[in-house]
Amino acid sequence: MAEALKVPTMAEYMAEGKKPEVLFWVGCAGSFDDRAKKITKAFVKLLHNAGVDFAVLGTEESCTGDPAKRAGNEFLFQMQAATNIEVLNGYEIKKIVTACPHCFNTIKNEYPALGGNYEVVHHTQFLKSLLEEGRLKVEGGKFKGKRITFHDPCYLGRGNGEYEAPRDLLRKLEVELIEMKKCKSEGLCCGAGGGQMFKEPEPGNKDVNIERTEQALEVKPEVIAAGCPFCNTMMTDGVKSKNQEDDIAVMDVAELIASAEDL
Amino acid sequence: MQIISQILFLLALVAGIWFFTRNVKRLIRNIKLGKEIDRTDRSGERWVKMSRIALGQSKMVKRPIAGILHVIVYVGFIIINIEVLEIIIDGLFGTHRILSFMGGFYNFLIGSFEILALLVFIGVIIFWTRRNISNIYRFLSRELKGWPKNDANYILYFEMVLMLLFLVMNATDYQLQLNGVAHYSQEAGVVGAFPVSQFLLPIFDGMANATLIIIERAAWWLHILGILIFLNYLYYSKHLHILLAFPNVYYSKLQPKGEMDNLEAVTNEVKLMMDPDADPFAAPAEDEGDAAEPEKFGASDVMDLNRVQLLNAYTCTECGRCTSECPANLTGKKLSPRKIMMDTRDRVEEIGEIINKNGKFEDDGKQLLDDYILREELWACTTCNACVEACPIGIDPLSIILDMRRYLVMEESAAPNELGISMTNIENNGAPWPYNQQDRLNWANEN
């Protein structure tokens, strides 16, 4: 693991007069959160493996404004959006892939009216298309036959109607895909959305991530698969609070694929 | 005698319709207290969505027991109301079963009405037990105490009584036809089919025709008066959904649920800030006139909400499917999306009452925020859209929560402390955590 990952930036591409096939929007969690950085790296490995010509914005990337908007700070959101759109349009970006459903939702749905029009896909959708195009090979590997349940991120599932892409990928891994009682359009939130990630919860009798973890534990999974860095944190904390972290892993779909292929 | 009855009927009908019209006008006036919003685009899609969700009840059956019972009561109610047409004509012209000229088809209709009436009756009784005896989470919330619980039960009692009266009316009518009593019996023999009410005949066995006529007339009158009263009860009740579900679904949001509207007033401000040519000392344009008062960001009262949000509030039938899916509510927080809708309606009604009294709205020192909806409720929301997904008739409680958060943050700077810190971080270094933007790519070189 000595060698560093090759991660080209848009600035470098621009200097060489090239344009990448797709921009990888890393997001704040993917850039700074220690757990989420592993997801970012796993995804980058898959991109390399599939021979995808991609670049990141690197230090030119900034928060999409999602947590600010949903906390009610429309002003800050639109400031962030304006800045990001200026950068993206400056590089004439056409297609964006991101491993964060919040970034995905915001750029895909809320940027167009502010002047940012791009084709935006979630990394599970992108990986699925790579698979269909035959650029990425996924089969069995070490998760074959393992009991895995997928926790739907709100902003991928209910928010944008994508329930199948992550499941299709898991099926390709030949895992035993088991559904929680509450899944897909009825999936329970992990408790992080709407700015909750960055504040203490209101008084209640339980934390949302504990409730969701209990629902996951009901189906006795070996792995809880996630598709969002925030869900990942919340579910990881939930599993820890139940002292099950040695038996149950919480992993992003991209990590599952990368790890199955021993990348 | 007959003519007096016809006149009384006409008076009752006119009074019922007049009062109903008055209430509908108030309803429209109150909804118009909200801001205009354009939801007239993509009309084809809207019609399809309305037929599927409102007319077709597609989301009701997601919960099979309540859903199927509801479909029975819904279909029953709509179809049985065809009979009301005949009752009105008979009442106005003193005829007996005027539509019976249709012969076999008429018998089929009346027969179907009877079977549906029985099914509705049974359905409503099960609904009552679910509300009052079974421990169903969404019927036990604190916001249902008092009037909302009574309202729900009154509706059920109303429907039970109406169905019962309909069947008694038919049974006695049938008996009177069999007895060959004038006005009831017709040359063609018995008109109508009575697959259900025939079993009530033993109750009336041996009664004099005069008594039967009294019972039949009483049931007939109470049934139609009951319907007129029920029609006018709607405005005061959660039951308004039987009318408003249709426009409510039609005007519901078509964009992906995750998408939240961008405030135009903010866009204009941001454009001005980012425009290097903007003159910060420029005098406001002349033509702005009275509108020069800056627009308020977000909502602290119902007038700050839009008309679709207020329509949502009037449409809510307080079923609580939203609340029973809400992650905050499930984990004991104060937030209940249903309460958000009920509070909004209560506040609109309160303002409506002030307008009824004074002719216009005068500040009553109250508002939706704090006097109805608590900050603690608003901050508990994860914006997960479970409530929006759960609503069988397209209500969006989340949009109200978001608008009220916008008011708290942009007008009052009243975000919870840690949230305020993360917003400052975004502003300063482009991430909700205090990491330097220049370190954003460090992960690529870490092992």
Q: For B219-278, how does the pLDDT look when each residue is reduced to its tens digit (9 = 90+)?
A: 999 999 999 999 999 999 999 999 999 999 999 999 999 999 999 989 988 888 888 887
Residue A192 forms contact with B (CB below 8 Å): yes
Q: Which SS3 state, helix, strand or coil, does residue A157 take?
A: coil
pLDDT > 70: percent of chain B: 97
User: Is it the case that residue B205 has pLDDT exceeding 90?
Assistant: no
- Residues in chain A within 8 Å Cβ distance of B423: 67-68, 71, 73, 76
Output the average pLDDT for chain B. Answer: 93
Which tens digits make up the pLDDT trace of B383-402?
Answer: 999 999 999 999 999 999 99
Lowest mean pLDDT: which of A30-39, A92-101, B263-272, B288-297?
B288-297
Given an 8 Å threshold on Cβ–Cβ distance, is A159 in contact with B328? Answer: no
- Residues in chain A with CB shorter than 8 Å from the CB of B53 are none
* pLDDT, tens only, A240-252: 999 999 999 999 9
pLDDT digits over B44-54, tens only?
999 999 999 99
Residue B420 CB-half CA count within 13 A: 9
- Average of pLDDT values for B58-84? 92
Angle at B385 between CA B61 and CA A252, to 5 degrees: 105
Q: Which of A103-112, A160-169, B184-193, B338-347 has the lowest mean pLDDT?
A: B184-193
Cα separation, B444 vs B430, in Å, equals 19
For A22, the 3-state DSSP assignment is strand
- Hey, is the C-beta of A219 within 8 angstroms of any chain B C-beta? no
Q: Which CATH entry fits the domain spanning A138-260: 3.20.20, 2.170.130, 3.10.620, 3.40.50?
A: 3.40.50
Residues 6+ apart with CB under 8 A from B211: none
Pick B422's closest partner by Cβ from A61, A198, A202. Answer: A198
Mean pLDDT of A81-104: 97
| Residue B219 to residues A191, B13, B230, B385, Cα–Cα distance (Å) | 55, 17, 16, 47
Number of Cα atoms under 13 Å in the Cβ half of residue A8: 19
Run of H or E including A30: helix A27-32
Q: Do A200 and B416 touch (CB under 8 A)?
A: yes
Task: State the pLDDT confidence band at A3, using cuts at 50, 70 and 90.
Answer: low
Considering only the beta carbons, identify the residue of A63, A189, A208 that sits closest to B426: A63
Chain A environment of B267 (Cβ under 8 Å): 78, 114
Average pLDDT (A189-194) is: 96
Same fold, A10-130 and A138-260: yes
DSSP H or E stretch at residue B389: helix B386-390
Residue labelled with tokens 């970006």: A93
Give the right CATH number for A10-130 from 3.40.50.1860, 1.10.150.80, 1.10.760.10, 1.10.357.10.
3.40.50.1860
pLDDT-derived band at A73 (thresholds 50, 70, 90) equals very high
Quote the minimal CA–CA distance from B270 to chain A in Å: 6
Query: Which residue among B271, B273, B441 sits closest to A58, beta carbon to beta carbon?
Result: B441
**CB-closest option in A56, A185, A197 to B441:** A56
CATH code for the domain defined by B264-272+296-435: 1.10.1060
Give the alpha-carbon dihedral of B277, B283, B289, B292, to 10 degrees: 80
For residue A2, name the pLDDT band (cuts at 50, 70, 90). Answer: very low
Query: Which 109-138 residues of chain A touch chain B by CB within 8 A?
Result: 109-110, 113-114
Tell me the residues of chain A between 42 and 101 that have a Cβ less than 8 Å away from chain B: 44, 56, 58-59, 61-63, 65, 67-76, 78-80, 82
Query: Which residues of B are less than 8 Å from A216 in CB distance?
Result: none
Q: Is the per-residue pLDDT at B40 higher than 50? A: yes
Q: Which of A56, A78, A206 sits opposite B270 (nearest CB)?
A: A78
Backbone angles phi, psi at A227, to 5 degrees: -135, 25
Query: Helical H runs in B251-336?
Result: 264-274, 307-315, 321-325, 327-330
- Nearest CA among B113, B36, B122, B119 for reference residue B78: B113
Q: Distance from A141 to chain B by nearest Cα, in Å?
A: 24
A56–B426 C-beta distance less than 8 A: no
Q: How far apart are CA B362 and CA B65, in angstroms?
A: 46
Instruction: Note the pLDDT tens digit of each residue in B23-35.
Output: 999 999 999 999 9
Please report residues of A whose CB lies closer than 8 A to that of B427.
Answer: 76, 79
Residue A72 has pLDDT above 60, yes or no: yes
How sure is the predictor about A226, in pLDDT bands with cuts at 50, 70 and 90? very high
The number of helix segments (H) and strand segments (E) in chain A equals: 11, 8
pLDDT in tens, A36-66: 999 999 999 999 999 999 999 999 999 999 9
Residues of chain A with Cβ-Cβ distance to B409 below 8 Å are 71-73
Q: Which of A6, A47, A4 lies closest to A24, judged by CA?
A: A47
Tokens coding A50: 């599939």
Quick check: A1 pLDDT over 90?
no
Q: State what percent of residues in chain B have pLDDT above 90.
A: 83
The pLDDT score that the predictor gives to residue B22 is 97
Q: Checking DSSP bridges between strand A147-150 and strand A95-98, what pairing results, if any?
A: unpaired
Contact check, Cβ <8 Å, B416/A199: yes
Determine the average pLDDT of the residues in B301-309: 97
Q: For chain B, which residues make up each domain, given as ranges?
A: 38-250, 264-272+296-435
**How far is B344 from B305, CA to CA, in rounded Å?**
9
B416 contacts A158? CB cut-off 8 A: no
Measured between beta carbons, the chain B residues lying within 8 angstroms of A33 are 433
> What is the pTM assigned to this prediction?
0.94
Query: For B329-383, how does the pLDDT look when each residue is reduced to its tens digit (9 = 90+)?
Result: 999 999 999 999 999 999 999 999 999 999 999 899 999 999 999 999 999 999 9
Residue A134 tokens read as: 């035959």
Mind telling me how many Å the CA of A154 is from chain B's nearest CA? 5
Q: For residue B287, is pLDDT > 70?
A: no
Residue ranges per domain, chain A? 10-130, 138-260
Where does A91-209 show beta strands of DSSP type E?
A: 95-98, 119-122, 147-150, 176-178
Distance CA A194, CA A216 (A): 22
pLDDT surpasses 60 at B289: no
Task: Judge: A109–B259 Cβ closer than 8 Å, yes or no.
Answer: yes
Between CA B295 and CA B404 the distance in angstroms is 15
In this prediction, residues A71-81 reach a mean pLDDT of 97
CA B390 to chain centre: 14
A58 chain-B contacts, CB cut-off 8 A: 440-441
